[in-house]
Amino acid sequence: MSIPTELKYTKSHEWVKTESDGTVTIGITQHAQELLGDMVFVELPKVGRTLGQKEECAVVESVKAAADVYSPLAGEVVEVNTELESSPEKINQDPYHAWLFKLKPANVADVANLLDAQGYEKALESEAH
Amino acid sequence: MPFIPHTEEDVEEMLASIGAASIEELFDEIPPDLKTGNLSRVPPGMTEMEITRLMHERAQADGFYLNFIGAGAYEHHIPAAVWQITTRGEFYSSYTPYQAEASQGTLQLLYEYQTMMASLTGMDVSNASLYDGATALAEAALMAVRQHKTSRRILVPGTAHPTYRKVLRAIVRNQDIEVVEIPFDPESGQVIPEQLDPFGQEEFAALVVPQPNFFGVLEQVDTLTDWAHKKNSLVIAVVNPMSLAMLTPPGEWGTKGADIAVGEGQPLGIPLSSGGPYFGFMACKQELVRQMPGRIIGKTVDLDNKPGFVLTLQAREQHIRRSKATSNICTNQGLMVTAATIYMSLLGPEGLRRVAAQSHANLLQLVEKLETIPGVKRAHSGFCFHEAALKLPGPIDEILQALKAQGILGGLSLQDYYPALSNTLLVCTTETKTPVDLDKFGEVLGKILKKYK
Amino acid sequence: MLIFEHSRPGRRNYSQSPTTPAEKQAIPQNLLRKSPVLLPEVSEMDAVRHYTRLSQKNFSIDTEFYPLGSCTMKYNPRACNALAMLPQFLARHPLAPEDTGQGFLACMYELQEILKDVTGMAGVSLTPMAGAQGELIGVMMIRAYHEARGDKKRTEIIVPDAAHGTNPATAVMCGYKVVEITTDKEGNVDMDALKAAVGPQTAGLMLTNPSTLGVFEKNISEMSRIVHEAGGLLYYDGANLNAVLGKVKPGDMGFDVIHINLHKTFSTPHGGGGPGAAPVGVAERLLPYLPIPMVAHEKGVYRWLTEEDVPQTIGRLSAHMGNAGVLLRAYIYVRLLGAEGMNRISQYATLNANYLMAELRKAGFEIAYPTRRASHEFIVTLKEIKERTGVTAMNLAKRLLDKGYHAPTTYFPILIPECLLIEPAETESKQTLDAFVTAMKEILQEIEDQPDMVKSAPHNMPLRKLDDVRAARELDLAWKPQ
């Protein structure tokens, strides 16, 4: 399984992409969507909501499971991907493009503390054992 | 051995296969000091003939009465087909339809039920039922709080069923939800919308609107609904499903309609049977569907594109979501809903309307008759459906005793529930009461009340 | 075809509703319904035929072996139904005076007393309407107990990871935080995890014994000591009482509160998912908090206990007194069985489970806890089969339907991969169990020879595999006229 090297990750299977305007885009990883199976519903945070790091802020739901999404960083929600509300299957089709929400981080430097692709791969390996 | 088919030979062969010397050996992982196994207070077993005799004796001791009690449980005629079909083994002894392909009977029936209840209440969607009307109200309150997000206050009028209010308080108490009771007008027996404003100054999640209310009186549902919506709160309708054959359904109350409709499903083909099992129904607007607790059935297709039915939205439920579930509820009241669906099919829209209309007409007839007795008059001025409170010229308990001696259960004394309502009787009529029954009630009560003049 | 599709405008049943329209009406125009009610317009025979045919699309205990683990699908004696539906019982209004219900109340009182004995508890209330409500009431009593003692620090309920989902969901409904503890290799609660989890913040531990893994928690007395020493209470989820009925009393295991699923152990019908009934039993110290109403017997008269009799009660949890008719069925069942019969339940349920486990093991199935005795149920895991062939527990479950057997419980408990939780119940004969083993063997062979056929099962049911993804994405929850 290829893990994009340009993104950052969390142990709870979120990916984080730093945008040029200083915001970050957040989604769930290929591994997470495989575990959950066919998505049927996504609940997104409200734009303007202030999130703490690791705060529960979204729910992704398949037929047989529902998982909370935790914000990888503290910050304010500036945009959500409303397209997912009608087409949640996009997360299954292309998890690294089907983003959930964008955040204006309280502290951009925190991004550096997240896992890189290699670190995430290691985390996945240890989870499998 | 009752209900155990094993022969001695079977047991021997089975133990040999297991490699155990005795059945007792199979319990060898249980610490010996825990084994007590002495059921000294359980009587010896009976044969079917003996228990039949005993149960018939007890049933006969309880007897039959001409019943005018309602107060949340209503005596309607139940067509013979309803329970003959419902107690077929395939409905009676099946389980929750987890294996959809082996449960299409129950699943399709529940989908038909959801369709009927959504239409009856005028809402978009219905679940497959909850335990009873009182717990359905509590679940609706929890649902409203989840949806509203900022307030945990629920406004409930004193005209709502007193036991429902108790159950609501008991269930939400541990979740920091405040139940605020709003007063009613003792003259009309209704909530007065103009008097609500003090309660709406602080934010609240939902207003509960009973229709008809506990006194049988019809509330001003349109005004109440619009008032709550103006305050950005939800409206929870508590309704008698039978009355909805005649009355405006909650989905059409006010400008936008109530948000959640709940109530006791018992009037739809379920016998009174000392209080249960009944079933609670719950219907809501489409946008609330993911907040709705309990089982929900959806239509889909199979691999050959043939239509079929499955449990859906299961990710809300306890067996998947565990501590984050919308509720801890697992079951619906499947068998009761089976009966209700068959009942509604047999009655149809016109039959149900006639049952409701006759129940209502009988009340008007009865009240007219009883009000000719000196000292008897209605306690409230509001319009009624099939139940009304009457002031009597003497102590209710004594009067009820005297009525019972003549084979009549005359109604419910309201004083236990509303201390201010002394000498007040809540009477109910359904379509089961004939003109002869109504006359008998009038005559007997008239005679009894003579001594209080 | 839906009942609505049988509908023809103007068709109705003339003998089942008033023949003439009502004459009087006094309801203001604005409160009268204007929109039509979407109910079918069919004849009595249409309805009878439609629902009879629907019933025939169900598996049920009366028609198939139903080894659904954790659900105790035993035979529901017909006498229990027939006698609970005597007309006087059905006609009795819940608010009718007590002296018009002495026969009914006598049954309820005796049932309370019998359940006290069976569970070894000091008091029983019959009101809870389902297992989940019994749990809710049980945990509410635990909370009331701590609060009455002014002990406000207790904010956590401990739940094993193998527990039913209702346990954590219930704890949250009572305002508690849930702490999950792990299971050891033998299927017991991990004692170190338990010791680490308890403390002054512990309100209680919720436990099923035998556990949902189908094994008896041998350390139960030690667990009870640990939780009680920390000031917490012990909750018994009665889901698996069938395994120990008459052998061990939960009260003797140290439990403070218990709910009993009458629809499992006491053979009241499952009814396609309810109504259930789940009386709660409590030890001495929780007596003041039991929910009302309960039945008392004084001077030869039976009466309801109310708020006045039980001032510290957690209150009322149903509009009347719970699922009275279900309670009557359970009462009739226990009277038919008597003390002897109840002892036999756990004996033969355990015999059947251990026999089936032995035979399936011989047939080549992997048992999740091979070193343990089965209680009344046990777990088969298809982990190796899935890795090798891609056939899942759900595929096997669907293939069993083709062979005329209801599937065991699949994917519960969630900590065992590809699991089947199998509970045969005491009412099945050796011959039925043998036939089931034969079917399982056939499927094992089919998995080797034609795995794709097994993966696409079922093949002989009224419908093939249903698309539950589509059901959840394109919600269709009510029929609409075309």
Q: Per-residue confidence at C412, pLDDT binned at 50, 70, 90?
A: confident
Q: Which residues pair with B280 in a beta bridge?
A: B130, B264
C449–chain B nearest CA distance, Å:
23
Who among B18, B174, B341 is closest to C354 (CB)?
A: B18
- Whole-number Å distance between alpha carbons of B351 and C16: 7
Who among C25, C168, C267 is closest to B360 (CB)?
A: C25
Which residues of chain C does A89 touch, with a Cβ-Cβ cutoff of 8 Å?
A: 473
Which residues of chain A does C411 touch, with a Cβ-Cβ cutoff of 8 Å?
A: 64
What does the H/E/C string look like for C84-113?
A: HCCHHHHHCCCCCCHHHCHHHHHHHHHHHH
Instruction: CATH number of the domain at A90, please.
Output: 2.40.50.100
Say whether domain B80-342 belongs to CATH 3.40.640.10: yes
* Secondary structure element (H or E) that encloses residue B17, with its range: helix B8-18
Give SS3 for A101.
strand
Instruction: Note the Cα B251 to chain centre separation in Å.
Output: 19
Does B422 score more than 60 pLDDT? Answer: yes
DSSP for A34-94? HHH-SEEEEE-PPTT-EE-TT-EEEEEEESS-EEEEE-SS-EEEEEE-THHHH-TTHHHH-
Does B37 score more than 70 pLDDT? Answer: no
Who among C62, C249, C315 is closest to B93 (CB)?
A: C62
- Whole-number Å distance between alpha carbons of C450 and C466: 21
Instruction: Report the chain A residue with the minimal C-alpha distance to residue B316.
Output: A66
- Using CB atoms within 10 Å of the CB of residue C214, give its burial: 0 to 12 exposed, 13 to 18 middle, 19+ buried: buried
Which residues of chain C does B77 touch, with a Cβ-Cβ cutoff of 8 Å?
A: 16-17
A65 touches chain C (CB under 8 A): no
Which residues of chain B does C97 touch, with a Cβ-Cβ cutoff of 8 Å?
A: 400, 404, 409
Rounded to an integer, the average pLDDT of B180-191 is 97
- Whole-number Å distance between alpha carbons of C215 and C373: 7
pLDDT tens sequence across B63-92: 999 999 999 999 999 999 999 999 999 999
- Under an 8 Å CB criterion, which residues of B touch A? 290, 314-316, 320-321, 324
B38–chain C nearest CA distance, Å:
7
Q: Per-residue confidence at B28, pLDDT binned at 50, 70, 90?
A: very high
Contacts of residue C328, defined as CB under 8 A and 6 or more positions apart, other chains included, come to: C83, C84, C89, C104, C107
Q: Under an 8 A CB cutoff, do B134 and C318 touch?
A: yes
Considering B32-36, B232-236, C209-213, the range whose residues carry the highest mean pLDDT is B232-236
Q: Per-residue confidence at B53, pLDDT binned at 50, 70, 90?
A: very high
pLDDT of residue A126: 81
Amino acid at C432: T
C128–chain A nearest CA distance, Å:
29
pLDDT of residue B245: 98
Who among C4, C35, C354 is closest to B115 (CB)?
A: C4
- Whole-number Å distance between alpha carbons of C17 and C22: 11
Contact C276, C131 (CB under 8 A): yes
Name the DSSP letter for residue C316: B
Rounded to an integer, the average pLDDT of C474-478 is 95
Q: Under an 8 A CB cutoff, do B104 and C318 touch?
A: no
Q: Are strands B234-239 and B260-264 parallel, antiparallel or unpaired?
A: parallel
Rounded to an integer, the average pLDDT of B96-102 is 93
pLDDT of residue B396: 96
Domain edges within chain C: 3-55, 79-337, 345-468
Instruction: Note the Cα B325 to chain centre separation in Å.
Output: 23
Q: What is the mean pLDDT of chain C?
A: 95
Which residues of chain B does C173 touch, with a Cβ-Cβ cutoff of 8 Å?
A: 171, 174-175, 327-328
- Of the candidates B86, B365, B321, B81, the residue with the CA atom closest to the CA atom of residue C47: B81
Rounded to an integer, the average pLDDT of C378-397 is 96
Q: What is the mean pLDDT of chain B?
A: 95
- Of the candidates B299, B296, B298, B300, the residue with the CA atom closest to the CA atom of residue B337: B296
pLDDT of residue A35: 86
Structure-token match 């989820």, residue found:
C237
- Whole-number Å distance between alpha carbons of A100 and A90: 11
Q: Under an 8 A CB cutoff, do C143 and B28 touch?
A: no
Does A1 score more than 70 pLDDT? Answer: no
For residue A126, being part of any structural domain is answered with no
Start and end residues for every CATH 3.90.1150.10 domain found in chain B:
66-75+353-452
pLDDT of residue A128: 65
Best of A63, A90, A91 to disrupt the C interface (most C CBs within 10 Å) is A63
Best of C394, C410, C469, C475 to disrupt the A interface (most A CBs within 10 Å) is C469
Q: Under an 8 A CB cutoff, do B272 and C54 touch?
A: no
pTM of the model: 0.96
Q: What is the mean pLDDT of chain A?
A: 91
Say whether domain C79-337 belongs to CATH 3.40.640.10: yes
Which residues of chain A does C468 touch, with a Cβ-Cβ cutoff of 8 Å?
A: 63
DSSP for B383-420? -BSSEEEEE-SS-HHHHHHHHHHTTEE--EESTTT-TT
For residue A7, being part of any structural domain is answered with no
Instruction: Report the chain B residue with the minimal C-alpha distance to residue A64.
Output: B315
Least confident of B307-316, B381-390, C2-11: B307-316
Does B14 score more than 80 pLDDT? Answer: yes
Which residues of chain B does C464 touch, with a Cβ-Cβ cutoff of 8 Å?
A: 101, 302-304, 306
Contact C167, C139 (CB under 8 A): no
Give SS3 for C366.
strand
Which residues of chain A does C469 touch, with a Cβ-Cβ cutoff of 8 Å?
A: 38, 40, 62-63
Does B306 score more than 70 pLDDT? Answer: yes
What ranges make up the beta strands (E) of B314-440? 377-378, 387-391, 408-409, 412-413, 424-428
Contact C179, C201 (CB under 8 A): no
Encoded tokens for B8: 């001695």
A71–chain B nearest CA distance, Å:
18
Q: Per-residue confidence at A129, pLDDT binned at 50, 70, 90?
A: low
- Whole-number Å distance between alpha carbons of B453 and C192: 78
- Of the candidates C134, C139, C187, the residue with the CA atom closest to the CA atom of residue C160: C187
Instruction: Report the chain B residue with the minimal C-alpha distance to residue C210.
Output: B30
Q: Under an 8 A CB cutoff, do A66 and B290 touch?
A: no
Q: The domain C345-468 is classified under which CATH number: 3.90.1150.10, 1.10.150.120, 3.40.50.11540, 3.20.20.150?
A: 3.90.1150.10
Which residues of chain A does B324 touch, with a Cβ-Cβ cutoff of 8 Å?
A: 66, 68
- Of the candidates B132, B274, B402, the residue with the CA atom closest to the CA atom of residue C92: B274
pLDDT of residue C411: 87
Who among B31, B252, B301 is closest to C467 (CB)?
A: B301
Structure-token match 């028609």, residue found:
C63
Say whether domain B66-75+353-452 belongs to CATH 3.20.20.70: no
Structure-token match 């099945």, residue found:
C428
Give the dihedral sign, CA B312/B315/B319/B324. negative
For residue A71, being part of any structural domain is answered with yes
pLDDT of residue B324: 72
Q: Under an 8 A CB cutoff, do B320 and A62 touch?
A: no
For residue A9, being part of any structural domain is answered with no
Least confident of A57-66, B285-294, C32-41: A57-66
Q: Under an 8 A CB cutoff, do B321 and A62 touch?
A: no
Best of B8, B30, B103, B287 to disrupt the C interface (most C CBs within 10 Å) is B30
Does A63 score more than 90 pLDDT? Answer: no
Amino acid at C162: A
Does C42 score more than 60 pLDDT? Answer: yes
pLDDT tens sequence across C437-475: 999 999 999 999 999 999 999 999 999 999 999 999 999
Total count of domains within chain A: 1
B426 touches chain C (CB under 8 A): no
Domain that includes residue A78, residue range: 22-108
- Of the candidates C134, C168, C135, the residue with the CA atom closest to the CA atom of residue C414: C168
Does C296 score more than 80 pLDDT? Answer: yes
- Whole-number Å distance between alpha carbons of B434 and B75: 13
A35 touches chain B (CB under 8 A): no
Q: What percent of chain C has pLDDT over 70?
A: 100
* A 62-81: CB under 8 A from B: 62-66, 68
DSSP for C381-412? E-HHHHHHH---HHHHHHHHHHTTB---EES-
Contact C289, C145 (CB under 8 A): yes
Q: Which carries the bigger pLDDT value, residue C428 or residue C321?
A: C428
Q: Under an 8 A CB cutoff, do C475 and B273 touch?
A: no
- Whole-number Å distance between alpha carbons of A91 and A115: 21
pLDDT of residue B316: 76
Which residues of chain C does A40 touch, with a Cβ-Cβ cutoff of 8 Å?
A: 469, 472-473
For residue A14, being part of any structural domain is answered with no
Q: Under an 8 A CB cutoff, do B43 and C339 touch?
A: yes
pLDDT of residue C335: 98
